[in-house]
Amino acid sequence: MARGGVNKFHVKQAREVLLAKGQQPTLDAVRQTLGNTGSRTTIHRYMRELDEEESTRLGEHSLLSETLKDLVGRLSAQLQAEAQEIVDQQRTLHAQQLADLQAQLNEANKQREISNAEIDRLEKMLAEEQTSHQTTASKFQQEQIRSHQLAQEVTGLREQLAISGKHLSSLEEKHQQARDALDHYRQSIKDLRDQDQRRHEQQLQHLQSELRQLQQTLIVKQGEITGLSKETVRMATELTEARKQLHREQLALEQQLNQMKEKERLFEERHREALEQTKALRDELKKKALKQEESTLKLHDAQQLICVLQTKLEAQEELVVALKAERTISRERLD
């Protein structure tokens, strides 16, 4: 089917242009002159009709006088010139339109390539954001597990502190002269434990990170507590032995009194060491509390980061969907 605008007049103009150039007006030549538009069947039909009309005009042309022949010739030349001018104008216009369409097509291809590159980049960013989100979620879950383990370790530490208090209480029963000091020590430990217990009950729920370092610290402190327990047992044994020795040697009280004073001096030194260790343990617990607060802040920051990443991820997914839709529309327009 011929395109709109290709008719018998256009075929006639193309045929005359070819004749003016001294070329044979074949079907392919006429169609090429028309810009490869129109069906071959339609162009052939118009050419056949023109040939028939030309034969009729040639028959009538022999009957005309010389004057009319000359007039007809000049009119024919003028018509051919005008037709050639129209053909040239149409050819120039067609070439310009073709160049404009080609430029538009090139620009559309460039825009499509840019859109494809942008979509690929956004898809890559989306994949990276998804991977980052999964990594952050995995780290958050690991930190929760670590926090639970850390809570168990803190509970174990509190139990060790309770055991240490019991050992210190037993020293009061075995040596009368150290009772006041042991009572004071036990009361101090009890107050410290109560304060630490109240503080840890408030802060324990916020502990979420830095578990490995705190575990190592707890292991070291457990070793220290174990050493303190052993030292307490040894001191109790020595005090018991001293008490038995005092009972057996009551007649030699003056000699044994000096020995007893020496043992009491050693006990007081050990007692001071125990107090210093307790103070160090209390300082360590304060440091742990500070670390717990820092862990809480880090966990809060991580949660905020997850929310931000989730928002960015959703925005990028919407942008990718929009770009894909735009690319589909561009392809349909190009097609």
Give the tens place of pLDDT for each residue, 233-267. Answer: 777 787 787 677 767 766 776 776 677 778 778 87
Query: Tokens 């402190």 correspond to what residue?
Result: 221
Given 117, 134, 165, which residue is the final one in a domain? 117
pLDDT at position 2: 38
- Cα–Cα distance measured from residue 94 to residue 84, given in angstroms and rounded to the nearest whole number: 15
Given 91, 117, 143, which residue is the final one in a domain? 117
Indicate whether 88 and 128 sit together in one domain: no
* Encoded tokens for 155: 């509970």
DSSP 2: P
Closest Cα to residue 115, out of 331, 320, 327?
327
Residue type, 213: Q
pLDDT, one tens digit per residue, over 135-164 is 887 888 888 788 788 778 878 777 877 786
- Domain total of the chain: 2
The percentage of the chain sitting over the pLDDT mark of 90, rounded to a whole number, equals 0
- Cα–Cα distance measured from residue 49 to residue 45, given in angstroms and rounded to the nearest whole number: 6
Q: Is the pLDDT of residue 272 over 80?
A: yes
Indicate whether 187 and 105 sit together in one domain: no
DSSP 177: T
Indicate whether 320 and 195 sit together in one domain: yes
DSSP 201-254: HHHGGG--S-HHHHHHHHHHHHHHHHHHHHHHHHHHHHHHHHHHHHHHTGGGHH
Q: What angle do CA 63, 68, 73 make, to 5 degrees?
A: 105
* Encoded tokens for 35: 């810009």
In a domain, 229, yes or no: yes
- 105 pLDDT tier (thresholds 50, 70, 90): confident
Indicate whether 61 and 199 sit together in one domain: no
Q: CB within 8 A of 53, min separation 6: which ones?
A: none
Domain extent for 83: 8-117
Closest Cα to residue 53, out of 22, 3, 16, 6?
16
pLDDT, one tens digit per residue, over 160-170 is 777 866 776 67
pLDDT, one tens digit per residue, over 64-95 is 556 776 777 777 777 777 877 887 888 888 78
Q: What angle do CA 268, 269, 271 make, to 5 degrees?
A: 60
- Cα–Cα distance measured from residue 123 to residue 134, given in angstroms and rounded to the nearest whole number: 16
- 185 pLDDT tier (thresholds 50, 70, 90): low
